[in-house]
Amino acid sequence: MYLEIKDMKKSYGSGGSYVEVLKGITTGIEQGQMCVIYGPSGSGKSTFLNTIGGLDTLDSGSIQVDGREIVNLKPEELADYRRDNLGFIFQFYNLVPNLTVRENIQVCEYLTEHPLPMEELLLQLGLKEHQHKFPSQLSGGQQQRCAIARALIKNPKLLLCDEPTGALDSRTSRDILVLLEEINQRYKTTMLIVTHNNAIKDMVHKVIKIKDGQISKDYMNERRIPAAELEDL
């Protein structure tokens, strides 16, 4: 099991403002799988993703990534874990506005000793002709492609995607999902995709539904639909 989670619990606040966000989540994901985490707003999806990404701490429980326990790592150890293992893709891109597409990608390229080839990524993601443009000169879909390239240049073992199509129209969403599917097949990258969009769950290997801080569904998808054929995006 590449990612193994046991009895994950997380809360915020105290007294009258105390909120229990994750209430004992246990699950696992094999290497190379695409996994969707879906559920209503406030169910704990993003907190689930952030704790795996080392961006948030747990109250209790265990998170093992590739055999390594990441709970209670020191800050510098967490930084190394994120640098060496993870790629992040967010809903709102988080590109540096005064850097070009190529320069935005290079920010993460410099963090790793074994980056993927820049030219290959630019070509595969349809960014070669846009590489010297600034984010303000790109469409939403092109900005998301740049964010994906920035995450992938590190050749991460685990790609964490928080609403990667949330700010995109249906056609562009499909293009991005096709791209993620191709990346998974080509590089065998393990992916966790948090989404409100129920249709996306049909294209992945594993589906986890979180409701009120607990897993209400956790199953393997026996009949995957190619991303290009998804409806109601």
The predicted model gives 219-230 an average pLDDT of 93
Per-residue pLDDT, 201:
93
Query: Is residue 110 over pLDDT 90?
Result: no
User: Residue 40 — pLDDT band, cuts 50, 70, 90?
Assistant: confident
3-state secondary structure the chain: CCEEEEEEEEEECCHHHCEEEEEEEEEEECCCCEEEEECCCCCCHHHHHHHHCCCCCCCEEEEEECCEECCCCCHHHHHHHHHHHEEEECCCCCCCCCCCHHHHHHHHHCCCCCCCCHHHHHHHCCCHHHCCCCHHHCCHHHHHHHHHHHHHCCCCCEEEEECCCCCCCHHHHHHHHHHHHHHHHHHCCEEEEEECCHHHHHHCCEEEEEECCEEEEEEECCCCCCHHHCCCC
pLDDT at 233 exceeding the cut of 80: no
Is residue 106 pLDDT above 80, yes or no?
yes
Percent of the chain scored above 70 by pLDDT? Answer: 100
Mean pLDDT within 29-53:
93
What is the Cα–Cα distance from 44 to 10, expressed in whole angstroms?
9
**What confidence score (pLDDT) does residue 37 get?**
96
Q: Each residue of 93-104: pLDDT tens digit?
A: 889 999 999 999
CA angle 233, 46, 224 (to 5 degrees): 40
pLDDT at position 9 is 96
Q: With the C-alpha atoms ordered 194, 198, 204, 209, is the resulting torsion angle positive or negative?
A: positive
Q: Residue 112: what pLDDT?
A: 86
pLDDT computed for residue 224 by the predictor: 94
* pLDDT classification of 225: cutoffs 50, 70, 90: very high
- CATH class, range 31-57+72-229: alpha beta
Tens digits of residue pLDDT in 8-33: 999 998 888 899 999 999 999 999 99
- Please choose, from the candidates 146, 142, 141, the residue with its C-alpha nearest in 3D space to the C-alpha of residue 101: 146
The reported pLDDT for the residue numbered 70 is: 95
Q: Domain ranges for the chain, please list them.
A: 31-57+72-229
Bridge partners (DSSP) listed for residue 29: 3
- pTM value > 0.75: yes
Tokens of residue 187, six digits = 């590089």
State the Cα–Cα distance between residues 214 and 23, nearest whole angstrom: 6
Q: What is the rounded average pLDDT for all residues in the chain?
A: 92
Burial 180-202 (b: 16+ CB within 10 A, else e): bbebbeeeebbbbbbbebebbbb
Q: Which residues contact 221 (CB under 8 A, 6 or more apart)?
A: 201, 202, 204, 205, 206, 207
Q: Give the pLDDT of residue 28.
A: 96
Q: pLDDT band at 193, cuts 50/70/90?
A: very high
